[in-house]
Amino acid sequence: VQHEMVSGLKYAHIVKRGPLKGKSFDKTEQMIGSYAASSKPIEKKFQPEEAPSGLLARGHYEVKSKFLDDDNFAHKEWSWSFDIKKD
């Protein structure tokens, strides 16, 4: 969000795993805050999350991430994926 005021900006993602893509594996929402219009970038760092380990956790995971405001307007949405494998 650039050059606009934003109220209650938050980051959210949903992680789904393998052939059971209809079921969420993990759902996260983290508040970023409310900001006045500015041309300067704002950086927010979150606590790191640890991926599950072990035989049952191995597989391919699909993630849908987005930035939402108080009105649930999605300012940015993107998809990404990761794999948990044995070394």
Is 52 inside any structural domain? no
CATH for 12: 2.70.50.30
Q: What would the pLDDT profile of 29-38 be if each residue is shown by its tens digit?
A: 999 999 888 8
**Arithmetic mean of pLDDT, 3-20:** 86
CB 15 within 8 A of CB 26: yes
Q: Quickly state the pLDDT bin for 21 (edges 50, 70, 90).
A: low
Is 1 inside any structural domain? no
Is 47 inside any structural domain? no
Is 23 inside any structural domain? yes
Percentage of residues in the chain having pLDDT higher than 90:
49
Q: What is the span of the domain harbouring residue 30?
A: 6-40+59-84
CB 60 within 8 A of CB 83: yes
Is 48 inside any structural domain? no
Q: What would the pLDDT profile of 52-73 be if each residue is shown by its tens digit?
A: 888 888 889 999 999 999 999 9
What is the count of structural domains for the chain?
1
| Residue 6: burial class (beta carbons within 10 Å; 0-12, 13-18, 19+) | buried
Whole-prediction pTM: 0.79
SS3 63: strand
